[in-house]
Structure 1
């Protein structure tokens, strides 16, 4: 699978843009601020319906415009389909396939898959737990697009439950009984446990599948490392019976996990009422990353942290590739962050991908193994080099 053509309208810095791409390696080269990352961000947005750079849609729409349109022709098994997303900040986005409207934008998920390497990846190992939860959830959506609905439902239930907890807390402080809020809370407890159990089950299985791939990838990108050096353990917000070593265990059925979440919600109810906040569930979990016996966060060097971040992305690529078509591989300004040795190692590992899209400020940063079509990006213009 590969993207053959990209068309933009009022996306980021581009009033309009038309770019023919094709399989193999394509590089977009230009100084910072010229719009090269915007091009690959648009393709990634079609894949995930979110940006790897910002959390909201509003920055994706060119200043002064009310909406943005991203359209791409995708080739899979010699069949061509045109995917389109209309980005409407504050309103529902609209999606089309071959100009035919889809009932919901999320039906685009899974039609094109991407794996993005970017400077922001360092937050996966050095940042807050939310970065690692998002990494797992975004990858699960690529593996199974229906997971996006489960995650969205969980977020809605969590928001409603937090609102009820705050109402109950204020009632208690005002001397009221808050019985109405507490009785309603029981209904939301059951739904939170049901959805939370499914998310836990899927995340735990993903970590089990991903761990050996991360070890293999870390050995490939870190000098002198072995595949046993890099480790991952999923840490839930509650003690799960039968999951003492979460990274290696198979998933349990959702029902027992839901029962455990419900029991923990009941146990933590006084604390939750005091704080007006849900303290149990996958929204408070973390993915613990380690090198040997030490956690990566706080102990690994800058080079080791970068190698681990690269290993996470390479493992994601290998996992998706094993499930079917090659994802579109996006290397967004990463070579400037790597020394010559890691550049060459990364290039060797990805050179056989069906499609690799690269952005770089300096063309010389791109390794010889990844020399392909090159576009110069300057002043809002995307020009194919001779």
Structure 2
């Protein structure tokens, strides 16, 4: 799989960009803040419908514009598809496939499979649960639109139920018909939250179980003298919803576990006005030895664990018969020589490798391919990124 063409309009710092790519390494060079990362971010958004840097879409739209356009032509085993996303600063995004409108933006998911390595990856080990949930959800999302729809349905129900909980306490204190109405409505939302939450949770558990052996192998290769590493799903509804080792997650069992836990916590949720259980509060344990790595793993160990999660993501896609586009966002600057070498070796046989670097010397000598320079211009139209003319060259 590789991206043959990428077209950007009003995406972040790019007012306009038309980039031809090949099934080979391409290295985008330029000073920090020149817009290199925005190119990779646009492709990753097309693959996952999420940015790896921000949680909302508004920052993706060029200053003063209402929407951004990302269009990519992807070749996969001789088949060519063109996916386009119109990202709106406000309101729902629009998509098209081969020029025809898609009913929903999520229909483009799966056309491009990509794995992105970035400096933000350290948060997968040292950051908050939301960072690790996002990582797992992105893996699930790339399996296709149905998985994206499941998470979207869950988020919609969660918003509705959370809004009800914010007013439930006052209604319960008033008593009478107000209290009865709240309780009956909560019963409805509990059922929907458990139904959609079970699908989301099961998909996460299964993808994590598939990822585990690749992660364990990757970490053992990067840090052969370290303690063994592992992954575990940590559900707020209790570990009893997890399947026995080697078995797939049971959606119905998870649904019932969520319902039971919601019933147990109902009074506390009404008092606090928040939803206390569900996949939106779960975590993924990145384990080193016998403990969760967050809080005690060294800086080097944390980077090795984060790198192993991304390497495992590539290995998982390959095990599924997909060669993903691999993108390295200025990550070599964050790694020591040994980890740089390991990453370069692992990505050497990628069908397409896209790399950004502020300092060319950070790129290991074994990575050749094309060099594309990026500059910034500022005039009466404002400040924007541009491809430098006459600066493209062939690497060693």
TM-score if structure 2 supplies the norm length?
Answer: 0.93
Alignment of 1:72-221 (within 5 A): 72-174=72-174, 177-221=178-222
How far apart in 2 are the matches of 1:104 and 1:372? 36
1:101–1:155 Cα change, 3 Å: same
Q: 1:350 Cα deviation (Å)?
A: 1.0
Q: Of 323, 326, 329, which residue of structure 2 is paired with 1:326? A: 323
What secondary structure is seen at the aligned counterpart in 2 of 1:136?
A: helix
How far apart in 2 are the matches of 1:40 and 1:263? 43
How far apart in 1 are the matches of 2:37 and 2:251? 40
Structure 2 gap segments, 5+ residues each: 377-384
Preserved contact between residue 211 and residue 231 of structure 1 (Cα < 8 Å): yes
Greater mean alpha carbon deviation, residues 210-219 or residues 375-384: 375-384
1:261 aligned onto 2:258? yes
1:372 aligned onto 2:353? no
1:385 aligned onto 2:384? no
What secondary structure is seen at the aligned counterpart in 2 of 1:69?
A: strand
Alignment of 1:282-293 (within 5 A): 282-293=279-290
Write out the 4+ residue segments of structure 1 that deviate beyond 4 Å after TM superposition. 173-177
How far apart in 2 are the matches of 1:32 and 1:314? 25
Preserved contact between residue 233 and residue 247 of structure 1 (Cα < 8 Å): no
Greater mean alpha carbon deviation, residues 170-179 or residues 186-195: 170-179
1:25 aligned onto 2:25? yes
Query: Aligned residue for 1:6?
Result: 6
Greater mean alpha carbon deviation, residues 167-176 or residues 71-80: 167-176
Alignment of 1:64-79 (within 5 A): 64-79=64-79
RMSD between superposed Cα atoms in Å: 1.6
Query: Aligned residue for 1:353?
Result: 350
How far apart in 2 are the matches of 1:126 and 1:247? 28
- What is the count of residue pairs matched by the alignment? 382
What secondary structure is seen at the aligned counterpart in 2 of 1:146?
A: helix
How far apart in 1 are the matches of 2:337 and 2:224? 12
TM-score if structure 1 supplies the norm length?
Answer: 0.95
Structure 1 gap segments, 5+ residues each: none
Preserved contact between residue 25 and residue 371 of structure 1 (Cα < 8 Å): yes
Query: Aligned residue for 1:313?
Result: 310
Preserved contact between residue 205 and residue 249 of structure 2 (Cα < 8 Å): no
How far apart in 2 are the matches of 1:340 and 1:89? 41
